[in-house]
Structure 1
Amino acid sequence: MKIALISEHASPLAVAGGVDSGGQNIYVANVARQLVEMGHQVDVFTRRDRALLPLISHMDGARVIHVPAGPPKQLPKEQLLPFMDEFAAFLIQFFRRESEPYQVMHANFFMSGLAAMKVKSALGVPLVTTFHALGRVRRIHQGANDGFPDERFAIEDELVARSDIVVAECPQDESDLVEHYRADPSRIQIVPCGFDADEFQPMERAAAREALGWHQDEFTVLQLGRLVRRKGIDNVVRSVSILKQAFRASARLYVVGGNSDLPNEIATPEIARLRGVANECGVAEQTTFVGRRGRAQLRYFYCAADVFVSTPWYEPFGITPIEAMACGTPVIGADVGGIRYSVADGVTGFLVPPRDPSALAARLDQLRRNPALGRRMGEAGLARAQAQFTWRGVGESLAQIYARAACLVPANTGADPLEMPMRAAAGTSFR
């Protein structure tokens, strides 16, 4: 098939770890690679965010098209909605110039979906959508700190109604689509995120710590990912303080991520806030901010840690817990969204309530006191990741969904995207 992956703010070429560079970037990059390996022709459309970028770059057999929409500079994704008409107009023009038509579009995030609906209206290309985050769910958790306009809700409503198939990343994502957007369950398919076994696999903890220059005998907690408030990293910092005060135990916390390779409070203001929390809690000397790291280096961090922790307020899926499991490291995660789906509580790690540092500290102490339990959980996590969460499996499931979607849409009707009828997809969910 000839497939268009649309990801307006999350380029597959970006370095993950920044404010707007994380799971979606990794998702799109790995889906594209898997589809190419399966023999499909893949183009990824993402917004041009630097003036010197070429129109077309190449990535492991896929083309990455840098769409001119808005100023060619990095902007917060919350500011990109006004440029989606321009984004859509470029897509329509580009699609029309291609010698062979696209058989399906896969929109990632609601703004990509907005542009894709216009393409579907003009050209009749089938549309599959993965939201990666839902506006109404985000608003529940972030309230006034949500920078997206209310207009997002109506766009998502229409996108749920007009997409030929909606991909949910976990059962909670499916439930949210039905509850908050009146989605038709028969048109939802569940496909999780994954990991690449070439990138993430176990190695001896001592060797990983030696490579990173870590002390061999410290109980070490790892937090890795985007440094934004909703990720709940302050919860992890506070848990290390409670571990110290209530359990009389010491732990070293490493925080990996940010907008620069060195921890910079100007480039990443969240670091300044978290340092303030660490100072307030008396664990500044036990908390190390590492900065952003490339994908090739992340395995060392996962393997070097005694435990990986991720306690966001909400999480549509969460790729980092899967990566940690793939490295044989136990995971303590918030009992929300996709983490609830990927982490088997009491088997591959523990689930704890978000924003509850005392509960997190108690589980940290349990693993600190029982290294054998941590090893067993790490081994179980590795087996679970390999069985259920590989990018290869994700690619195969999506390819089947694309083929089904391609059979659902008739020739171009020229209808407005908001006037197009809903079409139900047959078949069972990829669970």
Structure 2
Amino acid sequence: MIVVLLAGANSIHTVQWANGLFSLGIEVHIISQHPSIAGIDKGVYLHQLPFKGVLGYFSSVPSVKKLLAEIKPDLVNAHYASGYATTARLANYHPWLLSVWGSDVYQFPYKSPLHKWLVKSNLYAADSVASTSHCMASQTKVIAPKLGEIAITPFGVDINSFSQQALLVNENSAIVVGTVKSMSHIYGIDLLIKSFALVRNKLLLNNANIANRLQLRIVGGGPLINELKQLAIDEGIGEVTTFVGKVDHKEVPIELAKLDIFVALSREESFGVAVIEAGAVGKPVVVSDIGGLPEVVIDGVTGFVVPPEDIKAASVIFERLITDEKLRLKLGTAGKIHVNSTYDWSICLKNMCELYEKVIGDFKSY
């Protein structure tokens, strides 16, 4: 099978899909206007488009048509319903699968009627559409109600690389609450800071021994990092809060292993890769009841789901987990089992390959 990924080569998700498909013996080509990041397997073909930016998705169409005529792929998988899907629609090569990512169906279509028309046109032009979560599939249907069945293709994790870190033992007595997310408004880092401060202040009055062991660890870069650092100071937890900054993806398992409780109080989330990564390392999770997050957490079994924007509710769950080490271990163990059985990268790759074969088969029979 020959597959073209029409996608941003600067995304770790694109790289992982490409490398994973290549490992299964598929000939993989990435066509991208974005510069590539490190980590692409040498066996994956990378084609850099000559034009960049918004107009590049239109002006690169002749180049893409030429490449596709030379490669003759069995299938084109365009990632992102706005930019690269526009290129795929205009290139008019079939069959092609459109994989939606998140902001392309949650935010982009609502910028203007023209933006919505563009995404809707791309969705209807694709031979098939895929989503990483059921909630995002539902949102996609809001944009394009006449779409047929949307395939669910979860993004998995490399269980081996994350499981190795689960063996690490925290040698100090600290209880570390934290997250690995971008410092953006939609990811609710401010909610995490405020919830942590609330529970710490309560424990300082009722259980000082536990309170003095608490630490908050925030991993990730982004536009709000300085504002969030100031918020931690304003909330009185500056001295017990560590902002690690952005780390390479290969360092994520190590960072997750340093946490006792993983938190994602997002205001918007299409899937929840970081949550399943935390589960793979055996960490209990606390997530907001938003988007795809409840889909990757078994409430009360692998973690807890709390109402969105509810700092008090989150702090109550924090306190329960902070003061009960046995509960943390129980949820973390269950989370690891759940991720191993549902989101192992090999399972997700097989799922995607089966979808590829179906799309190709349906197109040939048509």
TM-score calculated relative to the size of structure 2: 0.90
Counterpart contact for 2:262–2:285, Cα < 8 Å: yes
Whether 1:37 aligns to 2:23 is yes
- 1:373-412 equivalences under 5 Å are 373-409=327-363
Is it true that 1:112 corresponds to 2:74 in the alignment? no
Partner secondary structure for residue 198 of structure 1: helix
Residues 362-397 of structure 1, C-alpha deviations (whole Å, 9 max, x = no match): 111110111101101111000000100022111111
Compared CA separation, residues 160 and 345, structure 1 to 2 (3 A): same
Between the aligned partners of 2:45 and 2:169, the Cα distance in structure 1 is: 35
Q: Which residue of 1 aligns with 2:208?
A: none
SS, match of residue 242 in structure 1: helix
Q: Quick one: distance in 2 between partners of 1:136 and 1:5? A: 19
Query: Over the residues paired in the alignment, what is the CA RMSD in angstroms?
Result: 2.5
Report the alpha carbon displacement of residue 293 of structure 1 after superposing the two structures with TM.
1.6
CA pair 204-39 structure 1, distance change in 2 beyond 3 A: closer
Alpha-carbon separation, structure 1, partners of 2:151 and 2:98 = 10
**What residue number does 1:163 align with?**
126
Q: Could you say if the C-alpha distance between residues 229 and 30 of structure 1 is closer, same or farther in structure 2, counting changes exceeding 3 Å?
A: same
Q: How far does residue 59 in structure 1 lie from its aligned partner after superposition?
A: 1.7
Q: Which residue of 1 aligns with 2:184?
A: 228
Partners in 2 of 1:372 and 1:390 — Cα distance?
A: 26
Taking the aligned partners of 2:39 and 2:279, their CA distance within structure 1 comes to: 32
Shift of 1:4: 0.6
Decide whether the 8 Å contact of 1:222 with 1:301 is kept in 2.
no
Query: Counterpart of 1:4?
Result: 4
1:15-34 alignment, distance < 5 Å: 25-34=11-20
One-letter amino acid of the counterpart of residue 124, structure 2: A
Partner of 1:223: helix, strand, or coil?
A: strand
2:173 is the counterpart of 1:217: yes
**Residues of 1 paired with 2:347 and 2:39: CA distance?**
26
Q: Deviations over 1:150-198 (max 9, x none)?
A: 5321121112212111112122112222234204343x11121110123
> Counterpart in 1 of 2:207?
none
1:285-322 deviations in Å (ceiling 9; x for gaps): 12211112223322222122111111111111121101
| C-alpha displacement of 1:331 | 0.9
1:30/1:313 CA distance change after superposition, 3 Å: same
Q: Which position in structure 2 is the counterpart of 1:192?
A: 154
Q: 1:296 aligns with which of 246, 250, 253?
A: 250
Aligned to 1:174: 137
1:237 is matched with 193
The one of the two structures with greater contact order (alpha-carbon pairs below 8 A, sep at least 6) is 1
Cα distance, 1:90 vs structure 2: 2.1
Q: Which amino acid counterpart does residue 358 of structure 2 have in structure 1?
A: R
Question: Sequence identity of aligned pairs in percent?
Answer: 22
Q: 1:403 to 1:272 in 2, by over 3 A?
A: same
The residue type equivalent to 1:336 in the other structure is I
Quick one: distance in 2 between partners of 1:161 and 1:179? Answer: 13
| Residue identity opposite 1:109 in structure 2 | Y
Does the CA contact (< 8 Å) of 1:349 and 1:377 recur in 2? Answer: yes
Structure 2: gaps of 5 or more residues: 205-210
Shift of 1:280: 2.0
Is the 8 Å Cα contact of residues 322 and 342 (structure 1) preserved in structure 2?
yes
Check the 8 A contact 1:30/1:391 in 2, yes or no. no
CA contact (8 A) 1:173 1:316 kept: yes
- 1:30 and 1:57, CA in 2 relative to 1: closer, same or farther beyond 3 A? closer
Aligned partner letter, 1:118: L
User: Of Structure 1 and Structure 2, which has the larger fraction of its residues in helix?
Assistant: 2
User: Measured at CA, do residues 286 and 88 of structure 1 come closer, stay the same or move farther in structure 2, by a change above 3 Å?
Assistant: farther
The match for 1:61 is 43
**1:193-241 deviation per Cα after TM superposition (whole angstroms, max 9, x unaligned):** 1101232115467x4546xxxxx11110121022222111111011111
| TM, length-normalised to structure 1 | 0.77
Q: Is the 8 A contact 1:227 1:271 kept in 2?
A: yes
Conserved? CA contact 1:135–1:153, under 8 Å: no
Deviation at 1:255, TM superposition (A): 1.1
Give the Å deviation of 1:96: 2.3
Kindly indicate whether the alpha-carbon contact (under 8 Å) linking 2:280 and 2:336 is maintained by their aligned counterparts in 1. yes
CA contact 2:159–2:280 (8 Å) conserved in 1: yes
Count of residue pairs the alignment pairs up: 358
1:336 to 287, 290, 293: 290
